[in-house]
Amino acid sequence: MDSIDFDVRLKKLESQVSLLASIADCERYPFICVCIEAGMDASQVDSVLALVTKVENLLIAGKPMSYIQFEEELQLIVPSKKGNSEFAKSIIRALNKENKFLLPTRRWQSYLRL
């Protein structure tokens, strides 16, 4: 396959993904919309959900994770968002809207102003 054919195919795929993202129901599924907007791949989405499970398990064990630690671990999963504190907030808000993530502490709630 030559590079021109590859470039044409890549542009077509990018266009199709863009169209699919435009029909995503962001009110009903805000988390997936945040993931699409961030350009995350499936393994990153899975890793974020695993991180959320880790936060919840730590809370149950009586050892809540700090928001800063959460943000740092999230940036390791999605390096393109390093230094973007709004990204972590958007992930949490989206999951919270879908009732998939209960905020661990009042500190997190006040920090996020929810």
Res 87: pLDDT: 94
The confidence score (pLDDT) of residue 1 equals: 53
- Cα(28)–Cα(15) distance, rounded to whole angstroms? 23
List the chain pLDDT tens, one digit each, 114 residues.
566 788 888 888 887 777 677 677 888 889 988 998 898 998 999 999 999 999 888 888 888 888 889 999 999 999 999 989 899 989 988 998 888 876 655 666 655 554
- What value, to the nearest 5°, has the Cα angle with vertex 29 and ends 52 and 32? 60
* Domain 3-112 architecture: Orthogonal Bundle (1.10)
Q: What is the DSSP string of 33-89?
A: HHHHHHT--HHHHHHHHHHHHHHHHHHHTT-PPPHHHHHHHHHHHSGGGTT-HHHHH
